[in-house]
């Protein structure tokens, strides 16, 4: 086979490489998230990426797009049916139950990592995507619903996104109230069968609430006039919803009640919410979640109230980029590029680099490697984006000094004793300790 016949293997459609030019934005975002979780008293949990298929089928629901059409399911070598996780909630419940975390105690947990759904890829929608998720267990009042919403709102505020996102809120009520409402809704849709599209006809008996979520303009008028779940809530759910709205009002978090917000996963009850933006086109939901008080019991545990959400990291990074909200400092590469002027100073340059890394742990220092002419070394220094080059030649080595050259302005270059270098760099470079 000639070389030109060899077909290059490419990444799987909808699964992205995160390149070095992208990773500073991700690290900036992830750093904010990690701090925020600590500040709110949430502890990190990490679950495996693969679980038994039954876990997702039983929790997300057999008749959902995710389980019906989007899961990466395969048989492993033992013949067990396994699935790449399409979301984190089911795994989190499984792990918390399995390790006794829900026994007579409350938990506030968070996780992040890749999720997998075989959806049609487009901007903001991928087959491997990443979520940050938050799950709280053992709290049944609306205070924790408000607390997790406040946590997300603080993240938007600190990222500069708050004015670009809208909080949509709804209540799905208890499962009993929902079952009664479901019958009403089916009866209504039966009367308007002629307006229903193919997808909706399919969902009519299996998952009629999802029809409410349809974006088909031909059905909009009929859906607007449909009976509203909010008018059919049980008393306890209604009180819960009213209290949550009052808490959000008191906290100064604006929201829009969207009676047609139903979510695409079956485990929800009572509160559901989504943070949406108009700045990303059709994939505008950046964070979504709600209460799922029945799920722990459904998976074989003791009844345990639960609430949480997950945000799509790709969508949030896209939004930060679109709005140019990543600070320049977060994108920066090196502070200093240290180079031997020729190969005779390589060992001395390496020793100085190590010394500086010990003295200034915050310093981002790139050591020149790979030899080359002096000119090419300086070119690399410039390309590194560093503010300063540190040059070490025969004279500097003999004098135990170093030449400091500013790369971004016209400051005269200066020769500094190596012993004074740490102090000089601390003065010249701004850094957050
Ligand atoms: P979800 O609505 O399926 O909920 O996903 C949450 C978020 O993940 C979405 O709002 C979106 O930002 C992001 N996302 C979902 N699918 C994709 C995709 N294909 N490409 C890019 N981003 C995507 C859940 O997953 C629930 N587990 C949330 C939850 C936690 N509810 C309670 N606790």
124 and 239 assigned to the same domain? yes
Separation of CA 173 and ligand 1 centre (Å): 21
Separation of CA 376 and ligand 1 centre (Å): 48
Q: Is the full-model pTM beyond 0.85? A: yes
287 CA closest ligand 1 atom index: 10
In total, how many domains does the chain have?
2
In a domain, 180, yes or no: no
Which of 287, 302, 322 is the C-terminal boundary of a domain? 322
pLDDT attached to residue 335:
93
pLDDT attached to residue 213:
85
67 and 158 assigned to the same domain? yes
Q: 407, 386 in Cβ contact below 8 A?
A: yes
Which of 291, 322, 353 is the C-terminal boundary of a domain? 322
Q: Ligand 1 pocket: which of 124, 310, 317 to mutate (most atoms <8 Å of CB)?
A: 310
41 and 74 assigned to the same domain? yes
End-to-end CA gap in the chain: 57
In a domain, 298, yes or no: yes
Which of 322, 353, 387 is the C-terminal boundary of a domain? 322
Separation of CA 114 and ligand 1 centre (Å): 11
246 and 103 assigned to the same domain? yes
In a domain, 36, yes or no: yes
377 and 313 assigned to the same domain? no
Residues with CB under 6 A from ligand 1: 87-89, 117, 119, 125-126, 129, 131, 133, 135, 264-265, 285-290, 292, 308-312, 314-315
pLDDT attached to residue 49:
98
Dist. CA 312–CA 287, nearest whole Å: 6
Q: Ligand 1 pocket: which of 289, 290, 304, 308 to mutate (most atoms <8 Å of CB)?
A: 289
Which CATH number belongs to the domain containing residue 396 in this structure? 3.40.50.800
251 and 152 assigned to the same domain? yes
Mean pLDDT of 29-41: 98
pLDDT attached to residue 431:
63
Task: Identify the band that residue 432 occupies on the pLDDT scale cut at 50, 70 and 90.
Answer: low
* pLDDT tens-digit readout, 175-210: 899 999 999 999 999 999 999 999 899 889 888 998
User: H helices within 78-216, ranges in order?
Assistant: 89-98, 142-159, 175-191, 198-206
In a domain, 191, yes or no: no
91 and 141 assigned to the same domain? yes
Strands 166-171 and 256-257: parallel
337 and 317 assigned to the same domain? no
Mean pLDDT of 73-86: 98
238 and 308 assigned to the same domain? yes
Which CATH number belongs to the domain containing residue 111 in this structure? 3.30.930.10
Separation of CA 310 and ligand 1 centre (Å): 6
Dist. CA 173–CA 240, nearest whole Å: 9
Separation of CA 88 and ligand 1 centre (Å): 9
Listed residue (74, 77, 72, 80) closest to 114, CA to CA: 72
What angle in degrees, to the nearest 10, is found between the helix axes of 53-60 and 89-98? Answer: 110
Q: Any idea what DSSP says for residue 122?
A: B
- Across the strands, what pairs with 10? none
Domain that holds residue 47: 23-173+233-322
131 and 101 assigned to the same domain? yes
Strands 107-116 and 271-276: unpaired
**Phi and psi (nearest 5°) for 275?**
-100, 125
Listed residue (67, 100, 107) closest to 85, CA to CA: 67
């Amino acid at each position: 086979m000639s070389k030109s016949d060899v077909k290059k293997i490419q990444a799987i459609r909808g699964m992205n490489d995160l390149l070095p030019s992208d990773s500073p934005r991700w690290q900036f975002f992830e750093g904010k998230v990690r701090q925020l979780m600590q500040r709110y008293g949430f502890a990190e949990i990490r679950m495996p990426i693969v679980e038994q298929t039954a876990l997702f089928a039983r929790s997300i629901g057999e008749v959902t797009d995710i389980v019906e059409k989007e899961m990466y399911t395969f048989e492993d070598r033992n013949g067990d049916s396994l699935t790449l996780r399409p979301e984190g909630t089911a795994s989190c419940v499984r792990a918390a139950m399995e390790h006794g975390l829900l026994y007579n105690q409350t938990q506030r947990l968070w996780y992040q990592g890749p999720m997998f759904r075989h959806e049609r890829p487009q901007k903001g929608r991928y087959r491997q995507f990443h979520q940050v998720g938050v799950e709280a267990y053992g709290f049944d009042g609306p205070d924790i619903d408000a607390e997790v919403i406040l946590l997300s709102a603080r993240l938007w505020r600190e990222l500069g996104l708050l004015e670009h996102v809208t909080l949509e809120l709804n209540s799905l009520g208890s499962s009993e109230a929902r079952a009664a409402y479901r019958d009403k809704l089916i009866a209504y849709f039966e009367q308007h069968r002629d307006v229903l599209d193919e997808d909706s006809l399919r969902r009519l008996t299996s998952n009629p609430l999802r029809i409410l979520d349809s974006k088909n303009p031909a059905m909009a008028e009929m859906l607007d006039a449909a009976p509203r779940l909010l008018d059919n809530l049980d008393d306890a759910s209604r009180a819960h919803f009213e209290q949550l709205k009052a808490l959000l009002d008191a906290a100064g978090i604006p929201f829009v009640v969207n009676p047609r917000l139903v979510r695409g996963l079956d485990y929800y009850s009572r509160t559901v919410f989504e943070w949406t933006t108009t700045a990303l086109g059709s994939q505008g939901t950046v964070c979504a979640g709600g209460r799922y008080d029945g799920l722990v019991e459904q998976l074989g545990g003791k009844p345990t109230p639960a609430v949480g959400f997950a945000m799509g990291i790709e969508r949030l990074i896209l939004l930060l980029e679109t709005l140019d909200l990543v600070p320049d400092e977060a994108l920066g590469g090196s502070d200093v590029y240290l180079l031997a002027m020729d190969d005779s100073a390589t060992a001395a340059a390496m020793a100085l680099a190590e010394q500086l890394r010990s003295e200034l742990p915050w310093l981002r220092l790139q050591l020149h490697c790979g030899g080359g002419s002096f000119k090419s070394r300086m070119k690399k220094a410039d390309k590194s984006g560093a503010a300063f080059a540190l040059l070490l030649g025969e004279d500097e080595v003999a004098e135990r000094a170093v030449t400091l050259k500013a790369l971004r302005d016209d400051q005269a270059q200066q020769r500094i004793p190596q012993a004074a270098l740490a102090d000089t760099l601390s003065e010249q470079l701004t850094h957050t300790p």
